[in-house]
Chains A and B, each alone.
Chain A
Amino acid sequence: TQLLEQSPQFLSIQEGENLTVYCNSSSVFSSLQWYRQEPGEGPVLLVTVVTGGEVKKLKRLTFQFGDARKDSSLHITAAQPGDTGLYLCAGPGNRAGSYQLTFGKGTKLSVIP
């Protein structure tokens, strides 16, 4: 069973601060995805990282995939209240076609104005 552990579980910061959240596994993943979920909504895909060591930027968000493809991080620069939400990492399962996503428990981020 492939498990994804996310840390921290909760994070409350002031507007303008920087933060990093982590997603770790003992298993190698062919790719990892990051989602953001807001209350009452389904997860929305932010990014997919595929290559070990890859860094992707999405405005103030920077995503990194570990060299060994076992971990990933999400760094937010100058957080804004609109960044508030549950951040989930997910990876494809072992089954052929990689359709079955395994999710971490998420990091619940609150950005205080």
Chain B
Amino acid sequence: GAGVSQTPSNKVTEKGKYVELRCDPISGHTALYWYRQSLGQGPEFLIYFQGTGAADDSGLPNDRFFAVRPEGSVSTLKIQRTERGDSAVYLCASSRSRSDTQYFGPGTRLTVL
């Protein structure tokens, strides 16, 4: 079956703009995670969804970041008033349930000019 897919693969935007990043998890996976990977770093946890609800958003850096998963499948990470420091690869992962193996998508590379 298909793996986790993310769109777009690359996004270039200007400082202050709004962006949306999309994640399509593996079919049937109830748990979905967003991570951010800055250059030279490992992925850092942002938010975890169990079904439609954000069970843990403790990793979101500030209130400019928001994520939704309205039907328990596709998720969108939204960033308002982007800053240059937001430039990174945003990774999405899904798992069959909490604590199961997480499968990662290829990521969206966000560049804020």
Total contacts A to B, CB within 8 angstroms? 57
Known A88-B42, A97-B98; judge A42-B93 contact (CB<8 A). Answer: yes
Q: Which residues of B in the span 17-57 have a Cβ within 8 Å of any Cβ on A?
A: 31, 33, 35, 40-45, 48, 56
Q: How far is the CB of B31 from chain A (nearest CB, A)?
A: 7
| Interface-centre pick from A42, A93, A101 (highest chain B CB count, 10 A) | A42
Closest to A45 in B: B101
A53 at the interface (CB under 8 A from B): no
Contact of A100 with B104 in the complex, beta carbons under 8 Å: no
A43 at the interface (CB under 8 A from B): yes
| A99 CA / B103 CA spacing, docked (Å) | 12
Q: Mark B1-12, 1 if CB is under 8 A from A, else 0.
A: 000100001000
Contact of B40 with A105 in the complex, beta carbons under 8 Å: yes
Contact of A42 with B4 in the complex, beta carbons under 8 Å: yes
Q: How far is the CB of A97 from chain B (nearest CB, A)?
A: 4
| A105 CA / B95 CA spacing, docked (Å) | 23
| A45 CA / B61 CA spacing, docked (Å) | 26
Closest to A104 in B: B42
Please give 12 more A-B residue pairs, beta carbons under 8 A apart, in addition to A101-B45, A103-B42.
A4-B42, A42-B93, A42-B104, A43-B91, A44-B104, A88-B43, A99-B31, A100-B45, A100-B48, A103-B43, A103-B44, A105-B41
**Can you identify 13 A-B contacts, CB atoms within 8 angstroms?**
A40-B9, A40-B107, A41-B106, A41-B107, A42-B4, A42-B104, A42-B106, A45-B103, A99-B56, A99-B95, A103-B44, A105-B40, A105-B42
For the complex of A and B, the 5 pairs showing the least CB-CB separation, nearest first, are: A42-B104, A103-B42, A97-B98, A99-B98, A100-B45
